[in-house]
Amino acid sequence: MINKLIVIGIDGMDFDVVKKYEKDLPTISKLLSDNNYPRLRSVFPADTTPAWSTIYTGLDPTQHGIINFVNVKDRDNSYKPFEFDDSVFKGKTFWDKLNEMGYSTTVLLPMNIKNGWDINGTMVTRPYKGEMHVYPSSKESLYKPDFSILGTESKFTSESQLKILKEEFFKKSDEEFRLTKCAIENEDCDFLFSYFSTTDGLCHDFWRHCDENHPEYPGENEFMYAIKDLYIKMDNHLNEIISLCPDTPLLLISDHGHGARPVYVARVNEMLRRFGYLAPKTSNGTKKSKKSLKGLIKKTALNFVARFGLPKWAVKIARKVPVWKGLFASGNDFDWDKTVAYLSDLSALKNYSYGGIRVIADDDKKDALCDEIIKKLKTVMIDENTPAFLWIKRTNTHYSGQYLHRYPEIIFQLDESYGADWNLGDELFEKKGFMHRLSPGAHRYETAVIGAKGIELKKAQYEMTDIRDVILSVFK
């Protein structure tokens, strides 16, 4: 029995998807409608790792620092994945705080936590380096987390794998629920946090097949209800959790929304070039042929991947080394002596509709230069009525923590149909995205989900930094 609060975290659950399938999701919609459909905004950028770090600690990404962007301009141009271990969280999460206040907690499969640690209560960690840990170890025989299901790396490799992939996601969700149910039936503690992973992964891979408004929707197909069915499964899980603990307050949250990855590109570097902030490498005889060769490799590689999939060894390498980086964004593209602003890798590689711009200037002149660039970019229009940027601002007007320097100086949200593109070109806007072919779904910033029962959600708009307080307030 869980006595005081259950928190269910669902990765990538999207507000608009819940609305779309609302009639089929009675439990989730009640959690939202009973609170007048409050909104929850993700962190910027809306990535899983910084978002859950914020949920755990209540700190924004410039305060907790669990964030990293690869700077394309870096001379060594080497990719260093951002490494962190449990010490950045240990003692700082909401469950640690509850332990400190004297409450017992059960924490299941928490995102971002690697080896885990002993807490007042029970922790079952996610698969990490081939292992899962149960604390205390005496409870291993009670939970028996199934590594063969939870440890699968569900990842898009080719169209022909979609059916297997879908089955993996659904099985994983059932195993995550089995552990949750096991905790509810066997623990006697104050608090349960259970993290469900699969909504995000499934949307990344199946978005195009399920969204009839997507420019590349294939028409009726065997996967057209994959997302809906997984949401229904989550709704059933929640319904069962509530029936097992009818009197325990429950909070439902996601870390960001999910939608289509843009298939149209907005050439932000080209905009900067036209305003005189960025200069391409001076032309010489080889430039043009080199550029078109790059384009050809990219096209060929992507056609190959879409048809035949990535061979296993390539998937392994791609996870460690950004094989795409050299193809899509290169520090050799521009004349750095004449460039003061360029697209941040944050959006260039992922083709997301949100992103950032790096600005090079002395500290005392930087803000003024940023403001000047922002003012000009605000005038860029997709068509007569549609500005390219929904918003664009100096990052230091949004966040102010000690890790602010890890961010590009300017952040922005484009019209959601457009992904920021690194390359220069004759057209500022074009249907020419590529990442959507490898991963048709993409995270959204404004559309995370928050719902509750037995807790009053008073705000109409929540930020990720509020979630920790919402949880702790139940215990005050």
Nearer to Zn ion by Cβ, of 200 and 345: the residue is 200
Nearer to Zn ion by Cβ, of 48 and 152: the residue is 48
Residues numbered 48-67 forming contacts with Zn ion, rule: CB under 5 A: 48
Nearer to Zn ion by Cβ, of 116 and 257: the residue is 257
Q: Which helix (H) or strand (E) holds 428?
A: none
Strands 410-414, 389-394: pairing kind:
antiparallel
Q: Can you tell me the distance from the alpha carbon of 70 to that of 23, in angstroms, rounded to the nearest whole number?
A: 42
Least Å distance, CB 62 to Zn ion, is 19
Stretch that binds Zn ion, among 129-137, 159-167, 199-207, 320-328 (CB under 5 A): 199-207
| Assigned token pair, 174 | 């059932």
Q: Does 205 bind Zn ion (CB under 5 A)?
A: no
Least Å distance, CB 51 to Zn ion, is 6
| Assigned token pair, 49 | 């790792």
Least Å distance, CB 103 to Zn ion, is 27
Nearer to Zn ion by Cβ, of 214 and 443: the residue is 443
Q: Can you tell me the distance from the alpha carbon of 397 to that of 407, in angstroms, rounded to the nearest whole number?
A: 12
Rounded to 5, what percent of the chain is helix, strand, coil?
40, 20, 40
Least Å distance, CB 53 to Zn ion, is 11
Least Å distance, CB 93 to Zn ion, is 17
Q: Does 14 bind Zn ion (CB under 5 A)?
A: no
Q: What are phi and psi of 143, to 5 degrees?
A: -85, -40
Nearer to Zn ion by Cβ, of 46 and 471: the residue is 46
User: By the 8 A CB rule, do 125 and 115 touch?
Assistant: yes
Stretch that binds Zn ion, among 47-55, 201-209, 305-313, 334-342 (CB under 5 A): 47-55
Q: Does 211 bind Zn ion (CB under 5 A)?
A: no
Site string for Zn ion, 215-244 (x = CB under 5 A): ------------------------------
Q: Which helix (H) or strand (E) holds 472?
A: helix 467-473
Nearer to Zn ion by Cβ, of 346 and 410: the residue is 346
Least Å distance, CB 126 to Zn ion, is 13
Q: Please name which of 276, 267, 246 lies closest in space to residue 454, comparing C-alpha atoms.
A: 246
Nearer to Zn ion by Cβ, of 11 and 333: the residue is 11
Omega of the bond leading into 145 within 30 degrees of 0 (cis):
no
Least Å distance, CB 137 to Zn ion, is 29
Least Å distance, CB 49 to Zn ion, is 8
User: By the 8 A CB rule, do 103 and 4 touch?
Assistant: yes
| Assigned token pair, 320 | 């460690």
Residue the block writes with tokens 């608009």? 16
Nearer to Zn ion by Cβ, of 133 and 256: the residue is 256
Nearer to Zn ion by Cβ, of 255 and 446: the residue is 255
Q: Does 11 bind Zn ion (CB under 5 A)?
A: yes
Stretch that binds Zn ion, among 147-155, 178-186, 253-261, 307-315 (CB under 5 A): 253-261
Tell me which residue has its CB nearest to Zn ion.
Answer: 48
Least Å distance, CB 439 to Zn ion, is 13
User: By the 8 A CB rule, do 267 and 423 touch?
Assistant: yes
Residue the block writes with tokens 């199946």? 206
Stretch that binds Zn ion, among 192-200, 313-321, 346-354, 419-427 (CB under 5 A): 192-200
Neighbours of 384 (CB within 10 A): 5
Q: Can you tell me the distance from the alpha carbon of 472 to that of 100, in angstroms, rounded to the nearest whole number?
A: 12
| Assigned token pair, 453 | 């029962």
Q: Can you tell me the distance from the alpha carbon of 215 to that of 158, in angstroms, rounded to the nearest whole number?
A: 20
H-state helical runs in 58-161: 61-64, 94-100, 140-143, 147-150
Q: Can you tell me the distance from the alpha carbon of 29 to that of 467, in angstroms, rounded to the nearest whole number?
A: 19
Q: Does 255 bind Zn ion (CB under 5 A)?
A: yes
Q: Does 200 bind Zn ion (CB under 5 A)?
A: yes
Residues numbered 347-366 forming contacts with Zn ion, rule: CB under 5 A: none
Residues numbered 93-152 forming contacts with Zn ion, rule: CB under 5 A: none
User: By the 8 A CB rule, do 358 and 344 touch?
Assistant: yes
User: By the 8 A CB rule, do 39 and 460 touch?
Assistant: yes
Nearer to Zn ion by Cβ, of 84 and 275: the residue is 84
Least Å distance, CB 411 to Zn ion, is 19
Q: Which helix (H) or strand (E) holds 450?
A: strand 450-453
By CB under 5 A, the count of residues binding Zn ion is 5
Residues numbered 320-339 forming contacts with Zn ion, rule: CB under 5 A: none
For residue 441, give the 3-state DSSP assignment.
Answer: strand
Nearer to Zn ion by Cβ, of 57 and 248: the residue is 57
Residues that bind Zn ion (CB under 5 A): 11-12, 48, 200, 255
